[in-house]
Amino acid sequence: MHINVIGAGLAGCEAAMQIASRKINVHLYEMKPQKKTPAHHTDMFAELVCSNSLKALRVESAAGLLKEEMRRLNSFLMRCADTCRVPAGGALAVDRELFSAAATQGIKNNPYIKVINTEVTKIPENEITIVASGPLTSEPLAEYIKNMFGTSLSFFDAAAPIVMADSIDMEYAFFASRYDKGDGEDYINCPMNKEEYEIFYNALVCAERAPLHDCDVNNPKVYEGCMPVEVMAQRGEGTLRFGPMKPVGLINPKTGHRPWAVLQLRKENTAGATYNLVGFQTNLKFPEQKRVFSLIPALHNAEFARYGVMHRNTFLNSPKILNSDYSVKENNHLFFAGQITGVEGYMESASSGIMAGINACRILNGKKTLTLPETTMIGALSAYISNPSVDKFQPMGANFGVLPELENRPRDKRERGAAYSQRALENLDKFIIENAVGD
């Protein structure tokens, strides 16, 4: 007996390892290296196609709580992340190549996992299967899924450019983390005065964009969490200064003053050879990216290791299709996991893979599937994507707004986050013991 997992992205890797940890055989289907999507650059598993940040570390934050819950559920990718960390202040960022390499090696070295390098164009019948084909599901499989359910949705996602570290002009830039978090060298900051910012802003909003396909070019559906910087800028000249270029918490040591605007650069790898333009997801044409972003003084000679790209992301109308255990309402032997379900974010996707893997094993063993308490972040996300009352379903990432309200809600934001997290972890630990989740 075996369980099929389609896709070796973050959700697929977590699902496969959860199954293998219970000594059940896995057939893991992955179309790379024979076929890649426009957003993929390597042949490795669990590839991080956008940012290399896994968001906040603090357990008192929504993203930090999610990661702590994953750790307590024996997350494979959290172990990989811990071995591949790069400095990022209060965030957990990883060397993306080392991270994917660790995930790939762990999967390929597991005796219970058989990797099958082929494109899946239809879902196997009469077999327990987890579809974790990702937001860039190949066209044949996407069409098969669409025909199966009679519905599909999509939005457009964007990735930020990456520059070579030695091409950043440190005469203009300075090392610092916002509010002095981290060791002081986690980010390179590219400051701008008012005049420099206005020149950059005007060039950005007028720059030529790359054509989009499969959508209305003039009105693409863009997910707010990955909105292209040029689209965000069109909302007003001050928008970037209150978003990815906010200067608060930063003092330029060269002037002793807070800059008018700041672009932060975050390490892409442990060696610090490349840096990511934080919050600068973009769909500008490549020559335009070079022209416009080079107007930032510290990047006037920037060498781009990778330009930003924009691509289609597909997700199900999950409230009409999925149960809270990630199984299909009309077929409890078929599960979906990852961003295709409408959970948004790397770790959110991975967490759904954990639960789909656990529940697929329980179906195989004739047990009742599990859904975590809605007071946990993982449980709340699974409740959101399976709630039939959700109207105009859109992707959702970890946030305290999806959790049930606290009985005694602290007014202080940090105290409130700590209270949410304490309740979630206490309930999770109790749930794990009472339901023998690790078995």
- The CATH number of residue 100's host domain is 3.50.50.60
Q: Cα-flanking dihedrals φ and ψ of residue 332, to 5°?
A: -75, 5
- pLDDT reported for residue 225: 62
The domain that holds 282 is classified in CATH as 2.40.30
Summarised one tens digit per residue, pLDDT across range 229-242 is 999 999 999 999 99
In the numeric block, which tokens belong to residue 334? 């078929």
Separation between Cα atoms, residue 174 and residue 183, nearest integer Å: 13
Give yes or no: residues 286 and 319 share one domain. no
Confidence of residue 224 (pLDDT cuts 50, 70, 90): low
Mean pLDDT, range 27-52, rounded to an integer: 84
Summarised one tens digit per residue, pLDDT across range 289-298 is 999 999 999 9
- pLDDT reported for residue 49: 81
Give yes or no: residues 133 and 235 share one domain. no
CA distance to 20, 163, 184, 266, 281, per residue, from 273 (Å):
36, 9, 18, 11, 20
Of 247, 248, 311, nearest in space to 281 by CA? 311
Query: Looking at the domain assignment, is residue 354 inside a domain?
Result: yes
- pLDDT reported for residue 182: 66
Q: Taking the alpha carbons of 162, 165, 170, 176 in that order, is the dihedral positive or negative? A: positive
Confidence of residue 314 (pLDDT cuts 50, 70, 90): confident
Give yes or no: residues 389 and 361 share one domain. yes
Separation between Cα atoms, residue 222 and residue 338, nearest integer Å: 19
Give yes or no: residues 169 and 152 share one domain. no
Separation between Cα atoms, residue 437 and residue 18, nearest integer Å: 11
- pLDDT reported for residue 216: 37
Mean pLDDT, range 212-232, rounded to an integer: 63
Give yes or no: residues 278 and 130 share one domain. no
Separation between Cα atoms, residue 158 and residue 51, nearest integer Å: 10
Confidence of residue 51 (pLDDT cuts 50, 70, 90): confident
Mean pLDDT, range 205-234, rounded to an integer: 72
State which residues form the domain around 287: 162-308
Separation between Cα atoms, residue 423 and residue 54, nearest integer Å: 23
- Integer distance in angstroms from the first to the last C-alpha of the chain? 17
Query: Looking at the domain assignment, is residue 189 inside a domain?
Result: yes
- pLDDT reported for residue 210: 84
| Residue where a domain stops, chosen among 254, 277, 308 | 308
Query: Looking at the domain assignment, is residue 196 inside a domain?
Result: yes
Give yes or no: residues 8 and 108 share one domain. yes
Is the model's pLDDT at 348 over the cut of 70?
yes
| Residue where a domain stops, chosen among 252, 285, 308 | 308
Is the model's pLDDT at 300 over the cut of 70?
yes
Give yes or no: residues 234 and 330 share one domain. no
For residues 220 and 230, the model is more confident at 230
Give yes or no: residues 215 and 285 share one domain. yes
Most confident of 107-111, 139-143, 396-400: 107-111
In the numeric block, which tokens belong to residue 161? 């450019």
Give yes or no: residues 117 and 232 share one domain. no
Query: Looking at the domain assignment, is residue 439 inside a domain?
Result: no
Say if residues 303 and 167 touch (Cβ distance below 8 Å).
yes
Number of domains, the chain: 2
Summarised one tens digit per residue, pLDDT across range 54-87 is 999 999 999 999 999 999 999 999 999 999 999 8
Give yes or no: residues 206 and 287 share one domain. yes
Summarised one tens digit per residue, pLDDT across range 260-292 is 999 999 988 777 888 999 999 999 999 999 999
Separation between Cα atoms, residue 67 and residue 376, nearest integer Å: 11
Give yes or no: residues 246 and 329 share one domain. no
- pLDDT reported for residue 413: 83
- pLDDT reported for residue 145: 92
Say if residues 162 and 304 touch (Cβ distance below 8 Å).
yes
Percentage of the chain with pLDDT > 70?
Answer: 94
Separation between Cα atoms, residue 146 and residue 131, nearest integer Å: 13
Name the β-bridge partners of 284. Answer: 209
Reported pTM: 0.77
In the numeric block, which tokens belong to residue 310? 């924009």
Give yes or no: residues 319 and 423 share one domain. yes
Question: What residues contact 431, with CB distance under 8 A and at least 6 apart?
Answer: 372, 373, 376, 437
Is the model's pLDDT at 323 over the cut of 50?
yes
Is the model's pLDDT at 20 over the cut of 90?
yes
Q: Which residue matches tokens 């959290």?
A: 78
Of 392, 356, 349, nearest in space to 372 by CA? 356
- pLDDT reported for residue 264: 96
Of 47, 99, 297, 95, nearest in space to 197 by CA? 297
Is the model's pLDDT at 176 over the cut of 80?
yes
Query: Looking at the domain assignment, is residue 392 inside a domain?
Result: yes
Q: What is the mean pLDDT of the chain?
A: 91
- Of the CA atoms within 13 Å of residue 423, those in its CB half-sphere come to 22
DSSP per-residue letters across 78-100: HHHHHHSEE--TTEEEE-HHHHH
| Residue where a domain stops, chosen among 275, 308, 341 | 308
Summarised one tens digit per residue, pLDDT across range 375-432 is 999 999 999 999 998 877 878 889 898 999 898 889 898 899 999 999 999 999 999 9
In the numeric block, which tokens belong to residue 63? 């993203």
- pLDDT reported for residue 393: 82
Q: Cα-flanking dihedrals φ and ψ of residue 318, to 5°?
A: -55, -40
Confidence of residue 217 (pLDDT cuts 50, 70, 90): very low
- pLDDT reported for residue 184: 66
